[in-house]
Amino acid sequence: MSERSEPKSRRERPAKPALSRGWIVDTAVRIMRAEGLEKVTMRRLAQELDTGPASLYVYVANTAELHAAVLDALLGEVDLAEEGGGDDWRERLVAVLTSYTLVLFRHPQLARSALVARPSGDNYLRLVDRVLALLARGGAPVEQVAWGVDQLLQTATATAAEQSTRDQDPAAQQEWDALTRALHAEDGTRHPAIKAHMPALISGGDRLRWGFEVLINGIGSTPVPDPD
């Protein structure tokens, strides 16, 4: 009874919480999970938080910074493969990188923003530290390990950015279809090498894993250039 008589405005949105960076980012993550990153706009976010867009600028510098914060929050889901399994560093390393890639896969457009504005948050640092440690177990020189981590994470991010948008965006799917059609139509007069490599050029298979292994092998066997 007394509940029924409460003012309507108090019951609709129970105790609108005070604005804060944390609350803003949490809300942004929620919108992204439900509707995708493209809906995480300042205006939409403000609407969700029951305020005007200008209010958000007290806590967030701009849209890019907001997206970076959302990304770091998500990196908490990456499995660092710290327990279980054998002690094969290669297997563990591939597992961590695959986990990272899958997280980005699940949240499509985020991978693209990761390529541009590299995260510098806690979760990203943990990931970098872990990949460094595993790679170092292979016995490669420190310079190669240090530069290699960059390459490994970049490949993972780029792969996710490429694939993920393809799944969502029909236009990107069309572009890919156009490319495979162009490759299939190749008669070998203008592009003999494409013709010669043709079945494999398009074939599936575990390219992600192969890509990581290529890098791990290459990193271990390629000295960094003499700085002179």
Residues 40-59 that bind DNA (CB under 7 A): 41-44, 51-55, 57-59
Task: State yes or no: residue 125 binds DNA (CB under 7 A).
Answer: no
Minimal distance, residue 139 CB to DNA, in Å: 46
Contact segment (CB under 8 A) with its own copies among 22-30, 35-43, 79-87, 197-205 equals: 197-205
Which of its own copies, DNA, none interacts with 172 (beta carbon under 5 to 8 A by kind)?
its own copies
Which of its own copies, DNA, none interacts with 115 (beta carbon under 5 to 8 A by kind)?
its own copies
Binding residue for its own copies, selected from 16, 30, 117, 184, defined by CB under 8 A: 117
Find out whether 97 and 152 touch, Cβ atoms under 8 Å. yes
Binding residue for its own copies, selected from 49, 80, 94, 161, defined by CB under 8 A: 161
For DNA, the binding residues (CB under 7 A) are 18-19, 39, 41-44, 51-55, 57-59, 62-64
